[in-house]
């Protein structure tokens, strides 16, 4: 894992696969929901990153 973004992408991908499988019945629904969760993870991370950008940390 070479970067923070790489780690969070791997985390989002693996969690999305599990969430997609256990929350939906049909394969297409599972794929759709998994993709939604994956993209949501990434967007939330980017958004939170920009919100924290001006903070003096």
Partner 1 sequence: MLKGDSPNAPADSAQNFTVGVGKSVVLKPQSPAMTAAACVGGLLVPGLGHLLLGRWIRGVLLLASVLLMFVLGLAMHGALSSPPASGELVSFKTLNTFANVGVGLAYVITIGLGKGAGIPDSQTADYGWLFLVVAGLLNYLIVFDAFDIARGRKQ
Q: Which is nearer to partner 1, 15 or 42 (CB)?
A: 15
- Decide if 20 contacts 31 (C-beta within 8 A): yes
Q: In the range 28-47, which residues lie near partner 1 by CB under 8 A? A: none
Residue 33 CB, shortest distance to partner 1, in Å, is: 14
Q: Does 22 sit near partner 1 (CB under 8 A)?
A: yes
Q: How far is the C-alpha of 39 from the C-alpha of 50, rounded, in Å?
A: 17
* Chain contacts with partner 1 (rule: CB under 8 A): 1, 4, 7, 10-11, 14-15, 17-18, 21-22, 25-26
């Amino acid at each position: 894992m070479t970067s923070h973004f790489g780690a969070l992408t791997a985390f989002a991908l693996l969690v999305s696969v599990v969430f997609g499988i256990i929350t939906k019945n049909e394969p297409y629904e599972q794929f759709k929901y998994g993709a939604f969760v994956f993209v949501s993870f990434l967007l939330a991370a980017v958004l939170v990153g920009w919100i924290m950008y001006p903070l003096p940390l």
